[in-house]
Amino acid sequence: MKYGPAIIAILGGLLLILPSGGVNPVPPTPPVTDILAQCQAADRASKIALVQELAAKSWPTDRLERIEAMTDWWLEQYTERRAADYEPFTDAVAVAIDADTVAELAAELGGK
């Protein structure tokens, strides 16, 4: 198996957050005040949906095949969704670099 300890870590983390049969209410989202907070909220929502999809999909019955298939799917989906969720922030940083306003963006985000 080429993924080794990474698979175990991912699955261990998933077991901690997958529902155990009960209803897990989603805590309220804090007010969105800046583009980074908006991206973080989108990323959180994507991760919740991703884990729900992971739990709902059909996987091979063989344990090792299932682990590999789930891990491959998770890594592909996670990477794509995270990039999309943070695209507005990445764009804002690119605009700030181009306009030489990185310090202003940092100040808006709460930096010094």
Q: What is the largest distance, in Å, between two alpha-carbon atoms of the chain?
A: 55
End-to-end CA distance of the chain: 46
pLDDT in tens, the chain (112 residues): 566 666 666 656 655 555 555 555 555 544 445 788 899 999 999 999 999 999 999 999 999 999 999 999 999 999 999 999 999 999 989 999 999 999 988 888 885 5
Written as one string, the DSSP assignment of 19-76 is --SS--PPPPPPPP-SHHHHHHHHHHHHHHHHHHHHHHS---SSHHHHHHHHHHHHHH
How far apart (Å, rounded) are the C-alpha atoms in residues 72 and 92? 31
Q: Residue 70 in contact with residue 54, Cβ under 8 Å?
A: yes
